[in-house]
């Protein structure tokens, strides 16, 4: 096991490999179970975005952004980590292990950035409601690009010795190694800003903007369309809180290995229960967004259920009628606008011909 990883100091860098193999078998089975479930849910949402005409808000671009992060984490995670946990060792060689750790770090930062982006967008729409400020489409795509860029920035340095990708607590996969027993200044210089910028600061900002958005929406949102935006905000806040709650075991696991090393100079053994719960909860977190949309947001739920038969037959008749009428209203407005423009053009052309 030890020879499969490029960076090893001593046996304490893989503090869990001596535990009973049944723990690793249970871990692998749970990762595969939650991974397959997450792929099905996020694939369902992704297909809905391609075909459904109900997803018309610009905010849904950021929903798709979160879906992309979750789907990427699913497709990366369980085929490699689940099979390796069942085999009780990493099966794919050291080069693939470094690539796995890089992508795992990339999608982890991407998920946090995507959550922060959609919470910030909810706050800005509520704050500038009275000024009738509409966020431009390119602003949304800029937010998506910043999510990808930040993930790339904080996933690349360990490949160049600013931080280390090595054995995780289970001894079965490769991940970001928190300050090691012989950590140099470059490793400490990466991990400390990483914890602050990608962990502490986004969490504080997320809850700050959530509180602000809730207060502003209570004041300004009165009409039916605004109430629909308010329901969407509730679904965003619910998925954010649930996702962060499922990430708590991973944060505790990192702190368990990191803080005693900084304070006392040694890395303690990781409890088997914590080493089990942390990766399983992180894998389960990828299914949370779709479940929150189905539970809280009526428009997204209608789109998801309607996608199953490419219509709204699975909805309650009153709800299906409402959304169909909304679509007809949108099409009617577009048709009326087009007809008006054609009439103006015809009148202008007739006047020009008459003048000639």
Q: Are 235 and 297 in contact (CB under 8 A)?
A: yes
Q: Determine the topology of domain 2-315 in CATH.
A: Rhopdopsin 7-helix transmembrane proteins (1.20.1070)
Q: Is 288 a residue whose pLDDT tops 50?
A: yes
Q: Is 285 a residue whose pLDDT tops 90?
A: yes
- What's residue 208's pLDDT? 95
Q: What percent of the chain has pLDDT over 70?
A: 73
Which carries the bigger pLDDT value, residue 202 or residue 329?
A: 202
Mean pLDDT of 94-99: 87
Cβ–Cβ contacts within 10 Å for residue 215, how many? 12
Containing 134, the helix (H) or strand (E) segment is none
Q: Is 348 a residue whose pLDDT tops 70?
A: no
DSSP string covering 219-250: HH--SHHHHHHHHHHHHHHHHHHHHHHHHHHH
Q: Is 112 a residue whose pLDDT tops 60?
A: yes
Rounded to the nearest 10 degrees, the angle between the axes of helix 60-77 and helix 93-127 is 160
Q: Is 9 a residue whose pLDDT tops 70?
A: no
- Locate the domains of the chain by residue range: 2-315, 320-356
- What's residue 297's pLDDT? 83
- Name the pTM for this structure: 0.80
Cβ–Cβ contacts within 10 Å for residue 95, how many? 9
Mean pLDDT of 312-318: 49
Could you tell me which residues come within 8 angstroms of residue 245 by beta carbon, excluding any fewer than 6 positions away?
A: none
Res. 119 pLDDT band, cuts 50 70 90: very high
- Using one digit for the tens of pLDDT, what is the confidence trace for 26-46? 989 999 999 999 999 999 988
Which carries the bigger pLDDT value, residue 6 or residue 201?
A: 201
Output the six-digit token pair for 135: 């966020």
Q: What percent of the chain has pLDDT over 90?
A: 29
Q: Is 3 a residue whose pLDDT tops 70?
A: no
**Residues facing residue 167 across a β-bridge:** 174
- What's residue 333's pLDDT? 45
Q: Is 219 a residue whose pLDDT tops 70?
A: yes
Q: Is 328 a residue whose pLDDT tops 50?
A: no
Distance from C-alpha of 295 to C-alpha of 289, rounded to nearest angstrom: 10
- What's residue 4's pLDDT? 39
Q: Are 114 and 65 in contact (CB under 8 A)?
A: yes
Mean pLDDT of 111-119: 94
- What's residue 314's pLDDT? 45
Res. 336 pLDDT band, cuts 50 70 90: very low
- What's residue 13's pLDDT? 44
Which carries the bigger pLDDT value, residue 49 or residue 348?
A: 49
Give the distance from CA 338 to its chain's centroid. Answer: 39
Q: Is 332 a residue whose pLDDT tops 60?
A: no
- What's residue 203's pLDDT? 95
């Amino acid at each position: 096991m030890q020879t499969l990883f490029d960076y090893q100091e001593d046996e304490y860098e893989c503090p869990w490999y001596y535990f009973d193999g049944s723990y690793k078998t249970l871990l692998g089975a749970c990762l595969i179970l939650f991974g397959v479930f997450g792929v099905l849910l996020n694939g369902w949402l992704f297909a809905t975005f391609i075909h459904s005409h109900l997803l018309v808000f610009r905010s849904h671009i950021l929903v798709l952004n979160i879906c992309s992060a979750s789907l990427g984490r699913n497709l990366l995670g369980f085929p490699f980590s689940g099979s390796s946990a069942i085999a009780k060792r990493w099966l794919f060689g050291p080069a693939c292990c470094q690539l796995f750790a890089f992508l795992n770090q990339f999608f982890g930062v991407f998920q946090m950035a995507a959550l922060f982006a959609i919470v910030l967008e909810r706050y800005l729409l509520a704050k500038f409601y009275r000024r009738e400020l509409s966020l431009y489409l390119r602003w949304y795509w800029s937010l998506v690009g910043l999510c990808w860029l930040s993930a790339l920035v904080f996933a690349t340095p360990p490949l160049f010795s600013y931080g280390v990708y090595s054995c995780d607590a289970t001894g079965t996969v490769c991940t970001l190694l928190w300050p090691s027993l012989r950590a140099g200044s470059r490793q400490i210089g990466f991990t400390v800003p990483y914890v602050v910028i990608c962990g502490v600061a986004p969490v504080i900002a997320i809850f700050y903007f959530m509180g602000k958005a809730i207060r502003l929406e209570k004041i300004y949102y009165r009409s039916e369309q605004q109430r629909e935006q308010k329901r969407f905000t509730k679904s965003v806040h619910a998925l954010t809180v649930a996702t962060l709650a499922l990430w708590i075991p991973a944060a505790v696991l990192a702190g368990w290995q990191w803080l005693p090393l900084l304070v006392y100079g040694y890395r303690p053994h990781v409890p088997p229960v914590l080493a089990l719960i942390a990766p399983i909860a992180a894998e389960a977190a990828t299914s949370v967004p779709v479940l929150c949309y189905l539970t809280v947001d009526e428009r997204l739920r209608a789109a998801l259920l309607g996608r199953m038969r490419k219509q709204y037959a699975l909805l309650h008749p009153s709800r299906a009628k409402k959304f169909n009428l909304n679509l007809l209203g949108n099409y009617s407005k577009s048709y009326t606008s087009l007809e008006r423009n054609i009439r103006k053009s015809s009148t202008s052309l007739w006047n020009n011909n008459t003048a000639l």
